[in-house]
């Protein structure tokens, strides 16, 4: 196995994966001087009652989306084990797989605001146990500061990087809405991902 020393984590349902997911990983890779970015499709996300499409389709679309970038790898760590899946458990497994690696969770501003509500967040982030990189997002209200969770997650602030990524406001929810309304999603998802969606008749109106 290749021994990566600096690994970024991009997690999500990827239902479907879109361009903003790719920008997040690419800019994280460069700004954080990473060796690899792991895209981790959620298996059974605890914060959602269900996903729009089964895990097999979401994994296939994620593989397709990252297939032309050798900086990216898809991990099945949350797909090949029973859920519900919490990030604290996912990271523990990844540390066993890559024992010499330093991990950085790369996320959008909306996800960063919710960190104190994550399952066992104290053990995950307190004291810089897991580094965090944040991409600003349009439409997220409130001031974004590295120390805004310091009262609940002490030590996190010193291990937060604010990425200089461009502000790109794309959501999977909006992509699905446009698909169901017969509107264009060109330049929002890669053409090969869109081809998979069409070939498998995904996101059709129920």
Q: Which helix (H) or strand (E) holds 23?
A: helix 19-31
Q: Indicate whether 138 belongs to any domain.
A: yes
> In this model, does residue 205 exceed pLDDT 80?
no
pLDDT in tens, 84-106: 888 999 999 999 999 999 999 99
Q: Indicate whether 139 belongs to any domain.
A: yes
pLDDT in tens, 69-87: 999 999 999 999 987 888 9
**Total domain count, the chain:** 1
Q: Indicate whether 29 belongs to any domain.
A: yes
Q: pLDDT category, 144, cuts 50, 70, 90?
A: confident
Q: Indicate whether 77 belongs to any domain.
A: yes
pLDDT of residue 70: 97
CA distance 129 to 140: 26
Q: Quick one: what percent of the chain has pLDDT higher than 90?
A: 66
pLDDT of residue 46: 62
What's the mean pLDDT in 180-196? 96
pLDDT of residue 3: 76
Both tokens of 53, joined, read 């499409």
73: domain CATH number is: 3.40.50.620
Q: What is the mean pLDDT of the chain?
A: 89
> In this model, does residue 125 exceed pLDDT 60?
yes
Helix residue ranges per DSSP H, 50-199: 55-66, 87-97, 109-113, 121-125, 172-180, 191-199
Q: Quick one: what percent of the chain has pLDDT higher than 70?
A: 89
Q: Indicate whether 1 belongs to any domain.
A: no
pTM metric for this prediction = 0.91
pLDDT of residue 38: 98
Which of the pair, 42 or 51, is modelled with greater confidence? 42
Domain carrying residue 61: 6-199
Q: Indicate whether 40 belongs to any domain.
A: yes
Given CA atoms 30, 34, 36, 37 in this order, what sign does their dihedral have? negative
Q: Indicate whether 112 belongs to any domain.
A: yes
pLDDT of residue 137: 67
Q: Indicate whether 73 belongs to any domain.
A: yes
Q: pLDDT category, 126, cuts 50, 70, 90?
A: confident
């Amino acid at each position: 196995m290749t021994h990566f020393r600096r690994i970024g984590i991009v997690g999500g349902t990827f239902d479907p994966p879109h361009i903003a997911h790719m920008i997040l990983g690419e800019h994280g890779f460069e700004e954080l001087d990473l060796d690899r970015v792991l895209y981790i499709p959620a298996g059974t996300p605890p914060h959602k009652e269900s996903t729009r499409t089964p895990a097999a389709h979401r994994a296939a679309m994620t593989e397709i989306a990252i297939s032309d970038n050798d900086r990216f790898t898809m991990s099945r760590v949350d797909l090949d084990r029973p859920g519900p899946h919490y990030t604290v458990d996912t990271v523990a497994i990844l540390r066993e797989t890559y024992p010499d690696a330093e991990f950085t969770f790369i996320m959008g501003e909306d996800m960063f605001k919710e960190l104190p509500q994550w399952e066992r967040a104290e053990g995950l982030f307190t004291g810089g146990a897991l580094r965090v990189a944040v991409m600003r997002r349009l439409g997220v209200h409130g001031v974004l500061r590295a120390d805004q969770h310091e009262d609940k997650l002490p030590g996190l602030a010193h291990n937060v990087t604010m990425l200089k990524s461009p502000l790109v406001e794309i959501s999977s929810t909006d992509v699905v809405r446009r698909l169901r309304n017969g509107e264009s999603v060109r330049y929002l998802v890669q053409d090969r991902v869109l081809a998979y969606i069409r070939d498998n008749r995904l996101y059709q109106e129920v």
